[in-house]
């Protein structure tokens, strides 16, 4: 059996970028975008110890000629506290994030732009996003998708190690163990003669680790969901594959279920159709299948994230082309955030979408203590650039509302407090606008002279964040002025130190 390598590569690219009557579903309370004039993506999100959020992915903006790790830290209302890019030769893409005990961050992803250059890449920051250390591992032919903490204070990284290059490219699933200082301690691969990969690693309640992804090996008819269970010593306890009657399927995320076993989410092909649906697979603690469910419409859906909800149900998030525009069924490039809640038997409770007229893709979902959800991904419909990071906060569950296809937008025109202030060379400035229209954001010195215009033009409603590079400006006090087409003006002051 030969696996279609182009299909698998498309799946992995989607992972990194890549219904009935609704009974009750959450409305959107607010949304925020983050980014510059170029392309940004959010691949991972966590809730931080202060109740805010940290989003991680990549950016081509802010004077980055190549992809750079991109970290955005917000408060609990989604307002940016700081953002930072981390550039390196060959570019880099952050796929996973953890918060450390001292409120810093571990960013994990892949460095390099060609298969010859690819390697696991990790950055450790302090609580303000400043680099503490960075490391590159398995340089050449390896791709990192996920990281989790180990019980001895180190970390496990999971991904894909390419093999058979250049004549017959395949891949093995790979795990790398490092200590708290980033030193490599151990690595191992799993797989057979076809493509095998891990997309997610998480620690379990019995001090073990669960790895999920996909495999085309082990005499399977097609790519299938794959899970490996390790004990606290990283010894394999068991592994299972989950064939779906010969149809392509794979796992992108997993969660340990409170009442035992695991639930894995990803995608599955639809029989005799050229599209895929969300896939949810429930297993017991030994890997035995309990049930399998799928969710979606008559176009493509890909699930990238799962969480167990406060009422012991499941929430799945990713993107959907089926429900993005019910009046334009032929638009293959219009995707929306797609959030599905199902009960502990896998029956759908409700589903909803969030998005605009372009491609919007969700990569992460978490449920907050009050029952609401935070979703993070990217948007081409809203924001300042080609695509921006997008953070959406929903209302409480349940709330009876119609099917959602547009994000909630902040009220009024607001120029947010610049950060940091005082600052040295680089400062972040955010603003909110209520209605789409022409706006300008200008910087004035103390004499009243406009020294630069950060933004001028038409923008969609919502939140935007810009970066001012003041390395060529003199030390002193500066005035930021946000003007809208309806005559509203908002100002903030900041002090540049040299």
The first and second tokens of residue 422, run together, are 């005082």
How much is the pLDDT for 323? 80
Give the pLDDT of residue 415: 85
Q: Give percent of the chain above pLDDT 70.
A: 86
Domains along the chain with CATH numbers? 5-394 (2.130.10.10), 414-496 (2.60.40.2550)
The span from the CA of 335 to the CA of 319, in Å, is 6
Average pLDDT, the chain: 85
CA distance 414 to 463: 9
Mean pLDDT of 19-46: 75
Residue whose C-alpha is closest to residue 317's, from 394, 387, 240, 369 = 394
Q: Output the pLDDT for position 25.
A: 56
Q: In this predicted model, which residue has the larger pLDDT, 260 or 170?
A: 260
Q: pLDDT class for 11, splitting at 50, 70, 90?
A: very low
Over 80: is that where the pLDDT of 327 sits?
no
117 — pLDDT class (breaks 50, 70, 90): confident
CA nearest to 432, candidates 456, 403, 462, 453: 462
- Residue indicated by tokens 């019995």: 206
Give the pLDDT confidence of 462-483 residue by residue, as tens digits: 677 888 989 888 888 888 888 8
Q: How far apart are CA 380 and CA 360, in angstroms?
A: 6
Q: Quick one: pLDDT at residue 8?
A: 42
Q: Would the pLDDT of 328 be above 60?
A: no
- Spatial neighbors of 63 by CB under 8 A, at least 6 apart, are 469
Q: What share of the chain is helix, strand, coil (3-state, %, to 5)?
A: 0, 55, 45
Q: How much is the pLDDT for 27?
A: 58
Distance in angstroms (rounded) separating the CA atoms of residues 38 and 52: 26
Confidence of residue 128 (pLDDT cuts 50, 70, 90): very high
pLDDT tens per residue across span 166-225? 677 788 999 999 999 999 999 999 988 888 999 999 999 999 999 999 999 988 888 999
Pairwise CA distance, residues 251 & 263, whole Å: 10
Instruction: Say which residue, 424 or 378, is predicted with more confidence.
Output: 378
Name the more confident of 208 and 447. 208
- pLDDT tens per residue across span 232-242: 999 999 999 99
User: Which residues, including other chains, have CB under 8 Å from residue 389's CB and lie 6 or more apart?
Assistant: 33, 34, 35, 40, 41, 42, 55, 57, 70, 72, 376, 377, 378, 379
d(CA 160, CA 174): 5
Cα Rg for the chain, rounded, in angstroms? 23
């Amino acid at each position: 059996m030969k696996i279609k390598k182009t299909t698998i590569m498309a799946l992995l690219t989607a992972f990194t970028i890549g219904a009935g009557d609704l009974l009750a579903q959450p409305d959107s309370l607010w949304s925020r975008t983050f980014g510059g004039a170029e392309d940004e993506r959010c691949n991972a999100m966590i809730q931080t110890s202060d109740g805010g959020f940290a989003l991680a992915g990549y950016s081509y903006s802010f004077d980055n000629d190549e992809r750079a790790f991109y970290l955005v830290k917000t408060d609990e209302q989604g307002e940016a506290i700081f953002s930072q890019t981390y550039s390196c030769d060959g570019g880099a893409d952050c796929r996973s994030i953890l918060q450390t005990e001292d409120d810093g961050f571990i960013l994990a992803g892949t460095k390099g732009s060609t298969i010859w250059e690819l390697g696991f890449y990790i950055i450790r920051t302090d609580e303000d996003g400043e680099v503490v250390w960075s490391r590159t591992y398995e340089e050449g032919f390896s791709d990192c998708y996920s990281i989790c903490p180990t019980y001895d204070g180190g970390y496990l990284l999971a991904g894909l190690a390419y093999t058979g290059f250049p004549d017959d490219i395949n891949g093995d699933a790979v795990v790398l163990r490092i200590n708290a200082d980033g030193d490599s301690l151990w690595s191992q691969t799993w797989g057979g003669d076809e493509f095998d990969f891990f997309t997610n690693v998480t620690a379990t309640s019995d001090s073990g680790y669960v790895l999920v992804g996909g495999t085309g090996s082990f005499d399977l008819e097609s790519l299938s969901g794959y899970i490996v269970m390790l004990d606290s010593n990283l010894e394999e306890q068991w592994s299972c594959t989950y064939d779906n009657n010969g149809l392509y399927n794979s796992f992108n995320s997993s969660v340990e279920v409170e009442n035992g076993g695991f639930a894995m989410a990803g995608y599955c092909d639809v029989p005799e159709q050229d599209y895929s649906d969300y896939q949810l697979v429930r297993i017991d603690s030994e890997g035995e299948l309990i049930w399998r469910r799928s969710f979606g419409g008559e176009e493509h859906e890909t699930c990238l994230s799962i969480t167990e909800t406060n009422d012991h149900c499941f929430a799945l998030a990713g993107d959907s082309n089926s429900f993005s525009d019910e009046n334009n069924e032929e638009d293959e490039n219009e995707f929306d955030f797609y959030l599905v809640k199902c009960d502990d038997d896998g029956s759908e409770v409700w589903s909803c979408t969030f998005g605009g007229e372009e491609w919007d893709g969700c990569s992460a979902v978490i449920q907050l203590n009050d029952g609401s959800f935070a979703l993070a991904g990217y948007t081409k419909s809203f924001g300042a650039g080609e695509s921006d990071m997008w953070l959406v906060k929903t209302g409480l569950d349940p709330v009876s509302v119609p099917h959602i296809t547009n994000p909630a937008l902040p009220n009024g025109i607001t120029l947010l407090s610049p950060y940091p202030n005082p600052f040295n060379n680089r400062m972040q400035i955010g603003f909110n606008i209520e209605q789409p229209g022409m706006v300008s954001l200008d910087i004035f010195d103390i004499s009243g002279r406009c020294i630069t215009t950060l933004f001028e033009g038409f923008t969609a409603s919502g939140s935007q964040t810009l970066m001012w590079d003041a390395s060529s400006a003199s030390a002193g006090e500066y005035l930021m002025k946000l003007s809208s087409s309806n005559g509203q003006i908002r100002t903030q002051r900041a002090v540049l130190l040299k």
